[in-house]
Structures are given as structure tokens and as C-alpha cells.
Structure 1
Amino acid sequence: MCCRCCGVTQQKVWVFGLGTLFTVFGLLFIIWWPSLIDSIIMNSLPLTPTSKTFDKWETLPIPVYMKMYLWNWTNAEEVKLHGVKPNFQQLGPYVYREERLKMDLEWHENKTVTFSPNRTWFWEEELSGGKQTDLVTVPHLPSIAAAAEMRDKNALVKAAFNRELNAHGGALYVTHTASEWLFDSFYDEFLHYAMNNPLAPEVESDHFAWFLDRNGSKEFEGSFTVHTGVGDIKEMGEIKFWNGANHTGWYEGECGRLNGSTTDLFVPDEPKEKALTIFIADTRRIINLEYTGESYEIEGIKGWKYEVTPNTFDNGQRSEAMKCYCPVYRQPNNCPASGATDLGPSADGAPMYLSAAHFMYADDSYANTITGFEPNYERDNFYIIMERKFGVPLEVNAAVMVSLLIEPDEDIDILTGIPSFYGPLFTTASSAVIDKALASELKLAMNLPAIGRYTGVGLLCVGCILLVVGIFLTLKRRWYGQRAADNTVPTPTTRITEEVTESY
């Protein structure tokens, strides 16, 4: 605007017009912008084939690492020969970078999508605390699981089983390399015998590994059906079906019902006090992570911590609602002590248990059966640090331990004279931290309402300044060219003098 080119009236129109415009827009930005942006962002979060959420959901954009710890049974022979207390040493971590991909996507009219998770692991030598060639002695799960099935059989049947077990590779423990235990597998004579024995339960392979045939497989975890959040953002990520069913069938009632998240999608804008419920196929159950009240800042983003508690792996001793995690055949008086879930229903009857690492929060009756447990809260804690507005995990450490209950049996040679104990098999911890690129996107989305608000404040200030300046110039008659305009306008005295002059 050039003041020299405008008259006083035009100057007033420009100043008061722009001042009013900036003031109005400033007020609109302050009052209306935050809710508008929140609405736009929330409407963009639901999962669709074209949403920004989809790309990050289909292929996880941040690095995930699986840390595997193997437990070396250091005095296995002494336990077998002399019944001494078992000692286990934790080895590792053996670290693998994990790539996650959703496959076989099928979109449904009821706002759900079905997919099969595919995970591929790559060895990370530099991040690992052990070598793949490390020799590890571990209880022989096939032999002990079969012996547990025979425990209550009559003496004649047990004698026949004991003879076959001794003749076909049965053992209390075996030693193999870390890579063989994890992914590469090893030939097992007893499994080979069971595969070819029509009286034995069905065995799919004569090779054994904790993650046998799983690397790169899309079938292992099964198919999940989750809500996309379209039409109801409070349903986003909620599991509706697993392998076509809404109940696992392994535990009764609510303990077997599918709910919560697969950890890939969480409901946004939930109260921070609300617990996180997740379902991990490997655990065969949901896990509730409780709000701790602790906040952390990761890549400049504030998140709240949720973790397992002494109630997580309860079996009814702490809360009656958790009683359903006690298998039916063990109720009502033979339920496991609080702190470990009996995996028998999902492990073909094998006496395996799921717990927090090193039996943290568990009843002393578990850890006291052996030596070697050294729980470390920072390393072994199962937790998620969550940004709750958009439901984005900032940091995850999903650590659990699987153990095997080994009991003496005088009718089975490999179990004769040993103490009863819980032998740890492996501990797994999937960990991930949000990277800078994704954090930058998240911070921009979180800051857009504030950016609009501050822009509104700036516009409002400029508008108010223009209005104040306009009012001041008007009251003081200081507009550019105001004096010249005033001189050209006849005053009442001047008009009277001119009229008298003209009358003469």
C-alpha cells in the first residue's frame, strides 16, 4: 500500500479493513483451528488401502530387534547322577533384526481387514552378546514332554515307554549350538522314532528348534482380523478373530477371549490411565500392561509407561478374574502358583510355563528350584512407552521367558533321582524405539494445532496493532495528507466572510 497514492479515506479503508481481517482470522485460528486439525488428523488415522496409516502398518517402518537369551544347564550331569540343585546360566543376547510384513490382505465390508503376519529375522553379529556357535546344554523337551504324558499311566505301560525311550534317543538333556537351538535346527532321534510310531501323537518333523520353519513364514502365526477404525475410531486395531475364531479355546471364558491389539495398531486418544491390552500369538493369551504414572521423552515426544505387574501372570491367587488361566484339569486345587501361565493346553500337554523373565513378580516357589536367576528390571521388564494422543508406541521391550517343569519319576530312567525344578528354556525380548524420521512426522502432527494457534495469535496481534494505529491516526488527524485535506475544507467562519464579501 502506497500512502502517497491514496487519499485519507482510502488509507482508513486499508488500515481498518486489514486490521479487522487479521483480527477475525486470528480469532478463527485460535478458536477453530485446533479442533479442525484434530478432526482432520483423527479422520485420517483409520486404516484404508489409501491412508497414510496403511504404509506404516503394512510394513513396519522402524527397526525391530529380537533378543534371544538361551539358558545353559551347567551341571546337568551332576543333577542326573547325584540329584544336586540345578544351575542355569543365561547366555546371549543373540540378536536378530526383525522385518515385519502383512500379507494376504482381505478387506471386509464390516470395516475389518484380515492379514497374515510375516516375520523374517537376520542375524546381527555386532549387537549380539554371544556367537551362533556357542554350545548350549538344555533339557530335552521331547523326552520330558513324553514322560510327563506317561506319569499317571500304569506300571506296565510306563515300563514299555521307558524301554523305548532309552532305545531311541531319549535324554534328560542335550547339547547343541545356539543357532541350532534357535533357527537352524538339529536332527533328533527320539522325534524321528515318534514320527514313525503309530501309537505316538502326531509329530511333524524329526528336527527340532525353538523357531523351526518359522523364519520368513506367513503361516506360523495364523491370520488375524482387526477393525480398521473406519466409522469408529475407538475400535481401531481391535482384534476380532484369530484363525477365524474369536476365542483361543485354550483357556476358559474371558481368559481365552480375543481382544486388545496385535501391537501394530492402538486406539488413539485414550485416557493415559487406561491399561494396554495386547495379544501375542506366541504367548497364546492376552497380556495387560498397567499404567505406571511414569512419563518419558523419546525423540522429543512425551510418552507414558505401561508394564507387566505381579497380577499379569496370576492364576487366581491375586484376582479371582484370573482363575480361568488355570487349566480346567488342574482346577480347583492344583493351579500353578501366581507368576507363570501353564502353557500345557496349547503345548500338547507339555509342562511348559510362560512368565516374566527370571520369574520377576512370580511366587518364590519357581525361582527357588534352581540357581542362576539374576533378574534385572531394566533389561527384563516387559513394557511399552506410549504416546496416547495418536496411539503410537515410542519404545517397546516385550520380554517373556518359557520354562519347563521337570519332575522326578522312579519308573523312567532319565528322571530317576532328580529334584523337581523349573528349568528355563529361553527368554525372548522384542525391542524397538521410534526413529527420527517417524518421530518428526508424529511431532508435526502433534504440533499442528499449536502452530495454528500461534499463527492465530500473531494475526490477532497484527490486526489489533493496525486497528489501534488507525484509531490513533484518526483521533490525532495524523493520516498522510490529512493537513492538506483539512486546508481545502471551508470552515464556518470562512464561509460567512465569503458570503459577506459577495453581498457587497
Structure 2
Amino acid sequence: MYWCSVTTKIAFLVTIGLILSLTGLMSYLFLPYIVEYNVKQQLVLSPTSMTFDGWQRPSIAIYTKFYIFNVTNSDAFLNKQQKPILQELGPYTFRETHEKVNISWDHMNGTVSYKTIRRWHYVAEETNGSLDDEVVHLNVPMISAANKVSKSVDQSFISEALNVIIEESQSLIFKRNTVRQLLFDGYEEVLLEAAKDFFPETPFTRFGWYYMRNNTSTDGIYRIFTGEKGINRLGLMDSWNNHKINNKWFGSQCEKIEGISGGDFQPPYRLHPKPKNIDFFAGDMCRPITLDFTEEVDYNNIKCDRYMATSALFNYNLPENQCYCHTSSCPANGVLNVSVCTQGSPTAISYPHFLYADNIYLQSIDGLSPNLSSHGFNMDYENTLGIPLNIAIRLQINTVIERNDQMDFAKNFSNNPLYFPQFWFSTTAQVNDEMVEQLNFLVNLVPHYINIISILLLITGFLTLTISAVFTYRSKRNLHISQRQKYKAVEMISTSSK
């Protein structure tokens, strides 16, 4: 009876020990995959998903700082006495907000289409100067007019008419306007009114770099994959402006849209192998931007992969970039002509102060000093979920000045194009403390807790099995001793009876 009771207890302890050990082992081996599966399901974009609100109206603080170039020697430059000397003004700081509108879901294909409205709100306390600061700047509508004439069918008639208008209106190549006019308010320009007669596609009679862009959508219609048909395609583009190819450029590499990130996030759990580079589409540039992996960084105790825009982005020695050239010859490395995105206006994008660019650009302008820490372009992505945590987008806007013998004001320009810096901007964004805490819990603490719980279960199970083994040994030993004592008692009784 005693041995049956002991056996029951031992069996119970062994069972508990095995269950705890197996549970700990299974938790260690499989629970991370279960968590990963559930996280992936939550990341799938839908009207009811946990990611929808933050995707539609990002709550992170986005700030854009504008640095305007003031021309200090416009007369000497026009008289060919000096190259342009620029003075950097600013920053003029704005809080930027984004909202996705016209959202349309296609569950059959697992995609969603939308447009993004961008709004800018002036932040005076973060600004060096005032929006009423005056700037001597290049009269972009005049330069654009000369460029339009050079590409028009009836060049002679249009050039003669514009020359008369410029002379009668006393339009100047360099003008003086306030920062607010140059950015969002715009300034009146007679040439723009006249241009509508010759170029009906001219949208406005005022010019400002962001004129009529505040509280509007200007970067096209995006259609991205929601992850519903495969989480590995989450956030990647399916089309832009309802086209599967990018018809702004020529060549299969530059026409490619599908598989490029829409910019909000990268597909999660792409760790093995880690992507060497990532692409995200920039509607204002009508092309993707390629960022190269540079290093792992720590952002508030969260491991991130830093991707940077490098010299390769505007390097025309690379075959994959040559389809971004508009003519038979590419410009010197370091700039991208985006006139296909600006209705023919001769505009070029570069890094601020011609960072990474060919020396020919710096040699033609005074007042620039490229610096990687101030002018670099980088994004830090959390390396498990693919969420951007820290962003610094920095680009420079340049106007291309070219000689045009049919326009009186452009006859004396150099035969070599001059890439004239107008301004550069720095758009930075960082996730808030609440999101950092949530991500830290999900990517750091949850795996840590899983390991701790699994190890505790294994240890408890092992100890339980050890205790059951010891208990079994002692029980058998006690039973053996008990039986020996019983046999001795029997022998003593037997001997005494004799």
C-alpha cells in the first residue's frame, strides 16, 4: 500500500516535470514564430488594422527647414565680372503634416490607392530670421521662358514676342522678394501671364516654389500592396498615377515601379539576408530614391539599420542611372534634371551644397561648403518591423541656366549650363516616446520575456524531474531497508523458537 502511494506521487512529479520541460522547450523554439505570425497579421493594412490611423494621419512630428540662397553680386555676375556669390539664409522652419485621402481598397489584388495632402505650418520660434526677409534671387519664370522657347516649334515668333514683353515690362533676371513670396505666397510675374498665350499648360500667373501646394496633393496617386496577399510585399508599390510603369523616363530600369516602397514602411522581418539597399518612390522627383545600408545604429535602445543616399544616386557612370538623362549626354555626376516633373521648367535636384557632386558645380559658384553631417540624407529603419524611426531628407533645388541666342537676356550666358542653387531643405521626423515604448516592448522586451519564461519552465521542469528521481531513490532505499529489517525480525523469531 505504501509503495503504491509513493509510485503515484513519483508519477505525478515526473509528469509535471516533463510537461514543464516540454512547455519550456516548445516555448523557446516556437513561441517567437507565433508572435511573429500575429505581428504580421496586425501589420496588414486595412481600415480596421492597428496600423491604419498612423498610416493615414502620421502622428510623428515632421519639420521642414528651408535654407534660401541670397545672391550678393547679381550685377557683377551679369556683367561676367564674377561668378555668383551666394549667402545662405535661414532656416525658415515649418511643421509639416500629411493626410492620405481618396483611399480606395482592392481586396482582390491586396492593394490600396490614395493621394497625400501635405500641409505646412510656420514655426517662428524655430526660425532664424523672418518670412519677411528679402532675398535677391534668380527670376525663374524668365529662365523657364527661354527654355520653353528653345523647345517650341515656332521659336522665332515666340522669342520675338517674349523679348518685346520683357523689354516693355522691364522684367529683370534677378528680382528681390520676401521669403514668404518665394515659398508659398508667390509673386506676380508678367511673363507668366504672357506665357499662357503661347504655352496654355502654364498653371499660374504667380511664381513661388510651393505656391498653391499647401493643403493640396501634388505627388500623384499611389497604389501600394497592403500585405493582405503576402506580408513580404507590404508597402511596396503596384502603380503610380494608375500606370504600372513610370512613363516620365525611358528604359526598363527607370520605368520600373512595382516592388519599390511607397515610403511609409518596408516589408517586415527581412533580416536574413539584410537588404543591401532599399528604394522608395519620390513623387516630386518622379523616380525612386535608392538608399544604401551603411551601419547599425541605436535609437532609444532600439536597433536600427541606417540607409543613406550616397554618391551612387546621381552617378551617371553607373549604367542603371543613364536612363535618367534627357539628352544623349548626361550631366556631370551629382545632379538630376527633373524638368519632366516641372512642366518643362529647367529644374535640377542635387544634395545640399552639391554634396558628392562633380567639382565643376562648386567651381562655378561661391558660398557653398558641402558637409556630410549637415547635408546628408539618411533613414533609420527598425530592423525587424521595417518601420522608419528617424528620418533626415535633405535635397537642393537648382535652376539650369543655358545660353539662348533667340532671347535677348540669355545671349550672353555661358555655352556651358550653369546649375544655379535656389534653396535647399531638410525634412526631419522622429517617432514619439509612446511609439518608442511600444516598439521597445514588442521587439526587445517580448523576446526577452519569452526567453526568461522558457528558461524558467525548463529549469522548473528539470528540478521537478530531479526531485522525483531523488524521491524515487530514497523511497526505494527506505523500502529496501524496511524489508531487510522485516527479514531480520523474522530470523530472530525463528531462532528463538528453536
TM-score of the superposition, structure 2-length normalised?
0.89
Aligned equivalent of 1:337: 332
Matched, 1:237 2:203: no
Aligned equivalent of 1:286: 288
Tell me: CA distance 1:487–1:86, structure 2 relative to 1, closer, same or farther (3 Å): same
Cα deviation for residue 435 of structure 1 reads 2.3
d(CA) in 2 for partners of 1:102 and 1:497? 99
Cα deviation for residue 416 of structure 1 reads 4.8
d(CA) in 1 for partners of 2:332 and 2:205? 34
Aligned equivalent of 1:261: 261
d(CA) in 2 for partners of 1:93 and 1:223? 31
Q: Identify the match of residue 399 of structure 1 among 394, 401, 409.
A: 394
Identical amino acids, percent of aligned pairs: 26
Aligned equivalent of 1:321: 320
Aligned equivalent of 1:437: 434
Deviations 1:57-89 (A, max 9, x none): 112121111121211111112222454211112
- With 60-69 and 200-209 compared, the bigger mean Cα shift is at 200-209
DSSP-derived class of the 1:370 partner: coil
CA contact (8 A) 1:48 1:228 kept: yes
CA contact (8 A) 2:158 2:198 kept: no
- With 34-43 and 112-121 compared, the bigger mean Cα shift is at 34-43
CA contact (8 A) 2:63 2:94 kept: yes
Equivalent residues, number: 485
Query: Residue 266 of structure 2 aligns to which amino acid in structure 1?
Result: F
Tell me: CA distance 1:382–1:363, structure 2 relative to 1, closer, same or farther (3 Å): same
Matched, 1:421 2:422: no
- With 32-41 and 374-383 compared, the bigger mean Cα shift is at 32-41
Query: Residue 427 of structure 2 aligns to which amino acid in structure 1?
Result: S
Aligned equivalent of 1:352: 347
CA contact (8 A) 1:223 1:242 kept: yes
Query: Residue 322 of structure 1 aligns to which amino acid in structure 2?
Result: N
Aligned equivalent of 1:213: 212
Matched, 1:363 2:365: no
d(CA) in 1 for partners of 2:62 and 2:195? 37
DSSP-derived class of the 1:312 partner: helix
Tell me: CA distance 1:83–1:325, structure 2 relative to 1, closer, same or farther (3 Å): same
Matched, 1:105 2:103: yes
Query: Residue 304 of structure 2 aligns to which amino acid in structure 1?
Result: G
Q: Identify the match of residue 78 of structure 1 among 76, 79, 82.
A: 76
- With 375-384 and 180-189 compared, the bigger mean Cα shift is at 180-189
Aligned equivalent of 1:165: 166
Query: Residue 360 of structure 1 aligns to which amino acid in structure 2?
Result: L
d(CA) in 2 for partners of 1:156 and 1:487? 124
d(CA) in 2 for partners of 1:409 and 1:100? 41
Cα deviation for residue 139 of structure 1 reads 0.7
d(CA) in 2 for partners of 1:154 and 1:209? 27
Tell me: CA distance 1:442–1:478, structure 2 relative to 1, closer, same or farther (3 Å): farther
Deviations 1:128-167 (A, max 9, x none): 2332111112111111110123347766653443112222
d(CA) in 2 for partners of 1:169 and 1:118? 38
Tell me: CA distance 1:489–1:179, structure 2 relative to 1, closer, same or farther (3 Å): farther
CA contact (8 A) 1:148 1:351 kept: yes
CA contact (8 A) 2:303 2:383 kept: no
Query: Residue 99 of structure 1 aligns to which amino acid in structure 2?
Result: T
Aligned equivalent of 1:3: none
d(CA) in 2 for partners of 1:35 and 1:257? 34
d(CA) in 1 for partners of 2:29 and 2:472? 31
Deviations 1:317-360 (A, max 9, x none): x1122111111xx11xx321221111222223322111111111
d(CA) in 2 for partners of 1:346 and 1:30? 53
Deviations 1:25-82 (A, max 9, x none): 1111112212222222223222122222222211212111112121111111222245
d(CA) in 2 for partners of 1:382 and 1:33? 38
Cα deviation for residue 17 of structure 1 reads 3.8
Cα deviation for residue 178 of structure 1 reads 1.1
Aligned equivalent of 1:200: 199
Query: Residue 19 of structure 1 aligns to which amino acid in structure 2?
Result: G
Tell me: CA distance 1:247–1:425, structure 2 relative to 1, closer, same or farther (3 Å): farther
Deviations 1:400-445 (A, max 9, x none): 1111122344553433545562211121222112222112211222
Cα deviation for residue 490 of structure 1 reads 8.2
Tell me: CA distance 1:489–1:102, structure 2 relative to 1, closer, same or farther (3 Å): farther
Matched, 1:175 2:170: no
Q: Identify the match of residue 272 of structure 1 among 274, 279, 282.
A: 274
Aligned equivalent of 1:475: 473
Instruction: Give RMSD over aligned pairs.
Output: 2.8
d(CA) in 2 for partners of 1:37 and 1:210? 47
- With 492-501 and 60-69 compared, the bigger mean Cα shift is at 492-501
